[in-house]
Structures are given as structure tokens and as C-alpha cells.
Copies of this chain bind each other. A is one copy, B any other.
Amino acid sequence: MASDDTSTPTPKGRKSRESILRAAASRFESEGFERTTVRAIAKDAAIDPAMIIRYFGSKDGLFLAATTIELDLPRMDAVPERDLGHALARHAVSLWDGETPGLALRILLRASAQDADAAARVRAVFAAQVLPFLPGGLADSALRASLITSQILGYAFGRYVIALDPLLDLDPEAAARRLGPSLQSVIDGV
């Protein structure tokens, strides 16, 4: 996966670049990486396929650009330990929904089922997002972080990939209310 990128400072180039990224993200989300063709993205973006390679170097480079995620760690210092599950649930539910960074996360989740690099990036995201919020001195913190990660991934997978209807019907607050106790049980468990 080459990460270099032809810089295009002109306004026109920038506009094309953005329309490519939008089209790519949409295709990657709905069809996955493998089944998405550069040609289809180009058609959606009303741009020549050759331009995509020019801008992003390769299909892999485009994928990287479309799934670069910058996450801001929320402040949870003030959250009492018994409310951590619900706080994490609220954070996760809102994170995965919407365009930024939800879309990139959903793309990455789907891709991680086929690509080892994408899987490694998912692991890295969660290692940075979950572990820091576990109470200090908690036993088995790495395992608990993995269990919490699994639950959040399961929620996202059930909702956005498998499309379990009852999950799709949940609004964010209701989802957090349902997810919270299960996350909390991981923290409270022996």
C-alpha cells in the first residue's frame, strides 16, 4: 500500500480529489474494497479512471486516503467507574454513526474481514480508544479491553454490516442504553 500522494494545490484538482474521495467512500462502504472498481468510482465521480491513479497512486492508495481516521479521545476522567460502560457505549454509538469518522470506520470494518492490514488498523484504533479509559489497577485490563472492543465491533457489525433490523431501529440514545450494561459487566466482572 503506497501512501504517497501527488499534491494538487489547484482549486480544480482539489475539487476533483474530493469528489473522488466521496465516491470511493460510498462504494467502499456499500460494496467493500474488492468488489469496488476504480472504473465505478470514476463513473460516480464523473471523472476519468486515470485521474484516480494519478491522484492516489493506486487503488490501495485511494483506500488509505478514504479511511484515514483521526480520533479525538474524549475526556472521561470525571466519569465514575460504575458509569463507564454507559459512557463508552455513548461514545462508541455516536462514533460509528454519521459521516466522520463513522463512514471510515464502517469501511475499515468491512475491509478488515478480508485484509490483514485493515484488520491491524482496526486493532490499533481500538487499542488507542478503549484501553486508556479503563480504570487504573484493573486486573486483566488487556483482556477486558479486548472484550469491550469485541462488543463494540459486534454492535457495529450487527448494525452496519449484517443489518439486524432491531438494531437499525434503535436511536443513538436507546442503543447506548442497551449497550452500556453489557460493557459495564466487562468492567465489573471478576
Contacts and interface: CB of A to CB of B under 8 A. Distances in A.
A145 B162 CA distance: 14
B119 A109 contact: no
B189 A178 contact: yes
Interface residues of A, number: 47
Given A119-B163, A122-B162, A162-B153, A34 B186 contact: no
A interface, by DSSP: helix, strand, loop or mixed?
helix
A158 B4 CA distance: 31
Nearest to A184: B185
A114 B164 contact: no
Interface string A103-126: 000000111111000010011000
| Integer count of this chain's copies in the complex | 2
Contacts of A164: 123, 146, 149-150
Contacts of A112: 113, 161-162
A157 interface: yes
Interface string A27-44: 000011011000000000
23 contacts: A32-B113, A34-B34, A34-B114, A35-B114, A112-B162, A113-B161, A119-B162, A123-B162, A123-B163, A140-B166, A143-B166, A143-B167, A143-B169, A146-B164, A146-B165, A149-B158, A150-B159, A150-B164, A150-B167, A152-B154, A154-B155, A154-B158, A178-B189
A49 interface: no
A32 B182 contact: no
Interface in A10-49: 31-32, 34-35
B158 A153 contact: yes
Contacts of A145: 166
A157 B126 CA distance: 14
B178 A147 contact: yes
